[in-house]
Chains A and B, each alone.
Chain A
């Protein structure tokens, strides 16, 4: 299994809702990532988990709350979002944080497209 699976594919939520995005990989990767991508822009790093511990938080607003329940799963909890948070949210994984060889590269999921009304 060489896939990163994200659910749901599409999500529409109001500004007062609480929802979650889920990500799963079964490649034995120990680093998992959340990226945000706006239209016609490159992915922007939000969070990095290494061995189930939060390694990087790129100054993301607290209305986004990541969680890594185990080495295969990554969640992104959403609460009180703003319309400008509408974007494609990408999960990715890699063997570890050392993205310094062809044997350890980022594998992305298909993304969850979020619309905040």
Chain B
């Protein structure tokens, strides 16, 4: 079983739709959660960073963390064609010795297409 599971999609939605992207994880050591967006032939760019359970909002994007269920989500409101990209969840943990060792564990990525 992978430490982080993410539905690869692809997901196709009409412009203006609300998009929900999700990841589940099995390692309870994960405490820090990120969402990266990657356009075709580009490097990933950080969208959202969360630590606490609950919601964090940034414009049209909302990141949600439920540590008790080991489940994180990214919601995109009023989706636009420019949101078409691959969305990667990523997680880090404080391992023995109190360091993350620079390691992120990524989900498989969800390919999203928003059509006009």
Contacts and interface: CB of A to CB of B under 8 A. Distances in A.
Most chain B CB inside 10 Å of its own CB: which residue of A42, A45, A105, A109: A42
Contacts of A25: none
B102 A107 contact: no
Contacts of A111: 41-43
Interface string A86-117: 00101010100111111001111111010000
B109 A108 contact: no
A55 B103 CA distance: 11
B81 to A, nearest CB: 21
A48 to B, nearest CB: 5
A12 B107 CA distance: 29
Q: Which of B8, B41, B44, B103 has most chain A Cβ within 10 Å?
A: B44
B7 interface: no
Contact of A42 (B34, B94, B99, B108): B108
Nearest to A106: B104
Interface residues of B, number: 27
Contact of A99 (B88, B92, B111): B92
Interface residues of A, number: 31
Contact of A108 (B32, B43, B100, B107): B43
A31 interface: yes
Contacts of B75: none
Contacts of A113: 41
Contact of B102 (A4, A6, A31): A31
B43 A41 contact: no
Interface of B: 8, 31-32, 34, 36, 41-46, 49, 51, 88, 92, 94, 99-104, 106-109, 111
